[in-house]
Amino acid sequence: MAFGDQPAYLRVAGDLRQKIVAGELPPHTRLPSQARIREQYGVSDTVALEARKVLMAEGLVEGRSGSGTYVREQPVPRALVRTGYRAAGESTPFRQEQADDRVKGTWESRSEQGVADAAVARRLRIAPGDRVMRTDYLFRSQGEPCMLSTSWEPLALTGRTPVMLPEEGPLAGRGVVERMAAIDLIVDNVTEEVGARPGLAEETLALGGVPGHCVLVVSRTYFAGGCPVETADVITLAERHRVAYHLPVK
């Protein structure tokens, strides 16, 4: 489609986007009003509104209640470093999710027993409805929210053991590898799949983002002798992170 054949709202959005990228409309500047857009570009109110919606969906602008629409300050993406699994004694839940030792982080967690739905059951190779321990994490870097994670462990393996609760007991906060080793399950492999999707409102708000923006989802599963012992979804804002893998050559 040639530029001249584009719908009017895309032409208007494209011109405003170019001004934002070029710095003509710097961060925290109020976007021209709907009436101003209509007058400047010779378009209808509907076209002006749709152009503003495009910029908002792209994360370039944000609405402020009772004030108008403003250019957003764009974050500089940081690396979310992945290195597979770490040996016992080297991993905490934060290090498990962010392997860059220069990054200091903390986490909050909550664990509760539940049942595996079909997707979790498939990843853990158990039957839907089997009991699992679910743990939800909020990770912070330098005090700012950076990652969410939900993990599931089959209670058929960990139930009634000292490591049943990931963040309680003698190995609280030591990470999957060391905890599983304590019950004679030696983690020897890990798989990860990376995808993207629109973030749920509660996810993006918890991470300090805008509802509807995309999130990266790292779906990870730890194995011991071919048996899945833990699976998790790690979620971070796509505009703030790039997934970087550091993998050893064997």
pLDDT value of position 1 = 35
Q: Give phi and psi for 159, each to the nearest 5.
A: -60, 140
- Measure CA 50 to chain center: 28
Confidence bin at 193 (pLDDT 50/70/90): very high
* CA 233 – CA 231 distance, rounded (Å): 7
The region of weakest confidence among 57-61, 90-94, 143-147, 202-206 is: 90-94
Q: Which of 97-106, 211-220, 222-231 has the highest mean pLDDT?
A: 222-231
Mean per-residue pLDDT, 44-50: 92
Q: Scan for tokens 């833990």, then name that residue.
A: 230
pLDDT value of position 18 = 92
pLDDT of 88 > 70? The answer is: no
| The CATH number, out of the four listed (3.30.70.2970, 3.40.50.720, 3.90.1330.10, 3.40.1410.10), of the domain defined by the range 78-245 | 3.40.1410.10
The per-residue pLDDT for range 57-71, each reduced to its tens digit, is: 888 888 887 788 999
pLDDT value of position 243 = 84
Q: Which two tokens stand for residue 185?
A: 């399950």
pLDDT of 87 > 60? The answer is: no
- The domain ranges of the chain are 8-71, 78-245
Mean per-residue pLDDT, 173-182: 90
Q: Which fold has domain 8-71?
A: Arc Repressor Mutant, subunit A (1.10.10)
pLDDT value of position 113 = 97
